[in-house]
């Protein structure tokens, strides 16, 4: 019985953690904020903004993911650190990203 319980908990945790990366693949540059939030199907864990952009941050067991909006449209998205330089708190703009128009 304990083994079944452990397996169920493991499956639940690993499947939930992969939902955000899978949904990120459905986003596209130029999408509206409301459309992007419908795809993500979850309230962001953090909201951040600087003088040029707004960021939604989704935290998972496997890492944190961001969606960046400029003028209310998706401008970039991905896993924090993949295309970022330094700490996300101190520098929120990636130097390059395959998800930026």
Render pLDDT for 62-72 as a digit per residue (tens, 0 to 9). Answer: 788 899 999 99
Domains in the chain, please, with CATH? 2-79 (3.30.1450.10)
The 3-state secondary structure of the chain reads CHHHHHHHHHHHHHHHHHHHHHHHCCCCCCCEHHHHHHHHCCCCCEEEECCCCEEEEEEECCEEEEEEEECCEEEEEEECCCCCCCCCCCCCCCCCCCCCC
Render pLDDT for 27-86 as a digit per residue (tens, 0 to 9). Answer: 999 999 999 999 998 889 999 888 889 999 998 887 888 999 999 999 999 888 776 544
């Amino acid at each position: 019985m304990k083994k079944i319980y452990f397996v169920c908990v493991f499956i639940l945790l690993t499947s939930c953690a992969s939902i955000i990366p899978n949904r990120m693949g459905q986003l596209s540059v130029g999408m509206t904020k409301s459309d992007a939030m419908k795809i993500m199907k979850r309230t962001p864990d953090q909201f951040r903004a600087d003088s040029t952009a707004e960021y939604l941050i989704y935290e998972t067991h496997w890492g944190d993911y961001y969606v960046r909006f400029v003028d209310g449209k998706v401008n970039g998205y991905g896993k924090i650190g993949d295309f970022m330089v330094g700490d996300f708190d101190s520098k929120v703009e990636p130097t390059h990203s395959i998800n930026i128009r």
